[in-house]
Homo-oligomer: A and B are copies of this chain.
Amino acid sequence: MNMDYLRQEINTWLDNYFENKGTYNKVIYDSMAYSVKVGGKRIRPTLMLYTYNMFKNDFNNILPIACALEMIHTYSLIHDDLPCMDNDDLRRGKPTNHKVFGEAIAVLAGDGLLNEAMSIMFNESLKGDKNVLEACSIISNAAGVEGMIGGQIVDIISEGKLIDKDQLYYMHKCKTGALIKSSIVAGAILGGASKGEINILDEFGEKLGLIFQIKDDILDVVGETEILGKNAKSDIENNKTTFVTQFGLDKCIEFCESLTKDAIDLLEKLSLNTNDLKDTTIFISRRNH
């Protein structure tokens, strides 16, 4: 299925979600919608939909959960960009949320997106079967203190310090990897995958998360602000340990290539049409922003 088509479906769902919402509290919706609509590659929901699509052909059924995942991702970006965190002015080529709405509203918009995502998932669980609930529980855990938030905290406390490889792996596995992996595993569970298939896709998701983060670290060094849509060299400026500072650029490019091969080999093990996931894996490892 075409990635642009899926992205369009995701964007339409999100647009509808925020349309005509709010009374006295309207500004919170405006602020949440601003960051959600500013764009982005919609990689997480796309991965979930592609994975689900290998098992079932009614992906519209899980669109709310896929979009909840995008809301969680967006909330994390809004909070990461805050002055007390990475203090970034640019995100996806546009002013960051707090630059437009002020810090207080940005904090609440992040809270709102996280909370709204969870409410959507509870609501879908009420309508669905046990698989829906299990998938939502996995996403919630992946976003939490043993997942994305845990990675972010290690990122924050490590700034300006040299950290070892184990800590770097932990940080990246949690910060970016956990949510990416959960999008794949949740998509598989929602699709009714077998235990064996879930195990393979779990391993694939773990590798894909790592590919994504290594590529992010590479792009921070070799990318250009205009193409990235966020400030290049921000890791260097913030004195962060990254895969590139730890292993060097050449080694990272090599590592990214071999992980991509491993990830695709894993997909080959499945007796399913995995073309879309393969293409997305290559897209993630070769992207320039």
Bound-state CA distance A145–B119 (Å) is 10
Cα–Cα distance between A121 and B110 once the two chains are bound (Å): 20
Query: Any chain B CB within 8 A of the CB of A10?
Result: no
A25 contacts which of B111, B123, B154 (Cβ < 8 Å)?
B154
Give the interface centre of A29, A108, A116, A133 by most chain B CB atoms within 10 Å: A108
Interface size on A, as a range, is 35 or more
**A152, A153, A157, A171 interface centre (most CB from chain B within 10 Å):** A153
Contact with B along A20-32 (1 / 0, CB 8 A): 0011110111001
From known contacts A24-B167, A122-B140, infer whether A145 and B112 are also in contact, taking CB-CB under 8 Å.
Answer: yes
Q: Smallest CB–CB gap between A117 and chain B, Å?
A: 9
Q: Do the beta carbons of A115 and B133 come within 8 Å of each other?
A: no
Within 8 A of B (CB), among A122-156: 122-123, 125-126, 130, 133-134, 136-137, 140-141, 143-146, 149-154, 156
A160 and B136 CA atoms in complex are apart in Å by 41
Q: Does A104 contact B (CB under 8 A)?
A: yes
Could you say how many copies of this chain the assembly holds? Answer: 2
A174 at the interface (CB under 8 A from B): yes
Instruction: Please tell me if A43 contacts chain B, counting CB pairs below 8 Å.
Output: no
| Interface class of chain A by DSSP | helix
Asked if residues B119 and A126 are in contact (CB atoms below 8 Å), the reply is no
**Given contacts A137-B123, A154-B25, A111 and B110 within 8 Å (CB-CB):** yes
**Residue of A22, A102, A122 ringed by the most chain B CB atoms within 10 A:** A122
A84 interfacial by beta-carbon distance below 8 Å: yes
At the interface, yes or no: A59 with Cβ under 8 Å from chain B?
no
Taking CB atoms, residues of chain B closer than 8 Å to A282 are: none
Q: When chains A and B are docked, how far (Å) is the Cα of A23 from the Cα of B152?
A: 14
Asked if A103 lies at the interface with its beta carbon under 8 angstroms from chain B, I say yes
